[in-house]
C-alpha cells in the first residue's frame, strides 16, 4: 500500500484511507456492527491504516464502532475524528465550536475511540459565531496537553484556513473532491498547497454515483442523504451519465472499473491528496484499494480534463441550507 504525507506535516497515511461514516450514518440501511468491524479489520489486512469518523455520525455510535474495531491496533493506525456541532436529544442541532464544546467533544471521542490521543482532529464545519483563532487556540492547547496530535479543518474557505494556520498549523483540510465536485480548485487547493496542508478528499466517488451502480431507477430509503440531494434527482442522474461514459472509456483502457478510474484521478492530482472512499462491502473495499495501482499518464489526464470540461454536472451537491453550513 502506498503511503502519502499530508502536506508538510509528519503525518503519513495510506492512500486511500477508509471513510467509516456510512457504517452508521448518512447511507441507510446500515450493516450490523460485527460486519463493520470485520470490514475495518479487512481494510487493515489490505494495508489501510487511516480511518475517518466523527462525533456526530450516529451520533456517537460511529466512533464506538471504530474504537472497538481498532482497539487491537492501537498505535499502528491513524484515526481522524471531528467536533463542531450541538447534539440535542441524539440529533445534530447546529454548529458549535465554542472552546468548552470542543473540549466536551474531545473527551467523549477519546472514550469512544478507546485512545489516549486523537491522531487528527478536525473542526467539522466552520462556526460563524466563534472566531477561528479561538478554535485553533483551543486545539493548540489540546495538542500541548497530549490529547490531540494534529489539527484539521473541514469544508473551510481559504481565508479561514489561513487564519487558523497562523495560530496552530493545520495538517489537513478535509473537503469533498472528485471529478464531479471541483469548485475547491479555484482558491482553496492553491491556498493549502502554498501553506503545506494536505487534502483529505471525502466522497471521491461522488457519494457512489461515480461507481456507475446508481441509475435513474434507484430509490433511496429514509436515512439515505442522497434522497434529498439535488444531484441525485432522477433527472440529474440521467444527465450526469455523460461523466460515467467518460470514466468507462478510461476504465476499458486499464481493465478497471469506473470507481477505480475516479479514485485514480483524485490520486493523480497532487501527491498530498488522500481520498477516503467509504464502503460497507468487502468487494468494494478491494476495488477501491486496487485504484492505487492504476497510473493515469499525463496525456490521459489531459484528455480527461479536456473531455470533462465539456460536461456540465447537473444538480448542486447539497441543498441550499446544507451548502450554507459548509463555511465556504
Backbone angle region of 3, left / alpha / beta, with phi > 0 → left and psi within -120 to 50 → alpha = beta
Q: What is the DSSP string of 67-109?
A: HHHHGGGTTTSEEEEEE-EEEETTEEEEE---HHHHHHHHHHH
Tell me which of 57, 122, 150, 177 is the catalytic residue. Answer: 57
CA distance 210 to 242: 11
Q: CA-based diameter of the chain, in Å?
A: 53
Q: Count the neighbouring beta carbons within 10 Å of the beta carbon of residue 234.
A: 12
Under 8 Å between Cβ of 77 and 41: no
Under 8 Å between Cβ of 165 and 197: yes
Q: Is 73 a catalytic residue?
A: no
Residues in Cβ contact with 150 at an 8 Å cutoff, skipping those fewer than 6 apart: 6, 9, 11, 119, 120, 121, 143, 171, 172
**Pairing relation of β-strands 148-154 and 118-123?**
parallel
**Pairing relation of β-strands 85-88 and 78-83?**
unpaired
Q: What positions carry a catalytic annotation? A: 57
Amino acid at each position: 500500500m502506498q503511503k502519502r504525507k499530508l502536506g508538510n506535516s509528519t503525518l503519513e497515511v495510506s492512500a486511500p484511507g477508509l471513510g467509516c461514516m456510512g457504517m452508521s450514518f448518512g447511507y441507510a440501511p446500515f450493516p450490523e456492527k460485527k460486519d463493520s468491524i470485520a470490514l475495518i479489520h479487512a481494510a487493515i489486512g489490505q494495508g489501510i491504516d487511516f480511518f475517518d469518523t466523527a462525533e456526530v455520525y450516529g451520533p456517537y455510535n460511529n466512533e464506538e464502532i471504530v474504537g472497538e474495531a481498532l482497539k487491537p491496533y492501537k498505535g499502528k493506525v491513524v484515526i481522524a475524528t471531528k467536533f463542531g456541532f450541538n447534539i440535542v436529544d441524539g440529533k445534530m442541532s447546529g454548529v458549535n465550536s465554542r472552546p468548552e464544546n470542543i473540549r466536551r467533544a474531545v473527551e467523549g471521542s477519546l472514550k469512544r475511540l478507546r485512545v489516549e490521543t486523537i491522531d487528527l482532529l478536525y473542526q467539522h464545519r466552520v462556526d460563524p459565531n466563534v472566531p477561528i483563532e479561538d478554535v485553533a487556540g483551543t486545539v493548540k492547547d489540546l495538542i500541548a496537553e497530549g490529547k490531540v496530535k494534529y489539527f484539521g479543518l473541514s469544508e473551510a474557505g481559504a481565508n479561514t484556513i489561513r487564519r487558523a494556520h497562523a495560530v496552530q498549523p493545520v495538517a489537513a483540510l478535509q473537503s469533498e473532491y472528485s471529478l464531479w465536485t471541483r469548485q475547491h480548485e479555484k482558491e482553496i487547493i492553491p491556498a493549502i498547497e502554498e501553506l503545506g496542508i494536505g487534502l483529505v478528499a471525502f466522497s471521491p466517488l461522488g457519494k457512489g454515483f461515480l461507481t456507475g451502480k446508481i441509475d435513474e431507477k434507484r430509490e433511496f430509503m429514509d436515512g439515505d442523504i442522497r434522497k434529498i440531494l439535488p444531484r441525485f434527482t432522477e433527472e440529474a442522474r440521467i444527465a450526469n451519465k455523460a461523466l460515467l461514459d467518460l470514466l468507462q472509456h478510461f476504465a476499458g483502457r486499464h481493465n478497471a472499473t469506473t470507481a477505480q478510474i475516479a479514485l485514480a484521478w483524485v490520486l493523480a492530482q497532487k501527491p498530498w491528496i488522500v481520498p477516503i472512499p467509504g464502503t460497507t462491502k468487502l468487494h468494494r473495499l478491494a476495488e477501491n484499494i486496487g485504484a492505487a495501482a492504476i497510473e493515469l499518464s499525463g496525456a490521459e489526464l489531459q484528455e480527461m480534463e479536456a473531455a470533462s470540461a465539456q460536461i456540465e454536472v447537473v444538480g448542486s451537491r447539497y441543498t441550499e441550507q446544507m451548502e450554507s453550513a459548509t463555511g465556504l
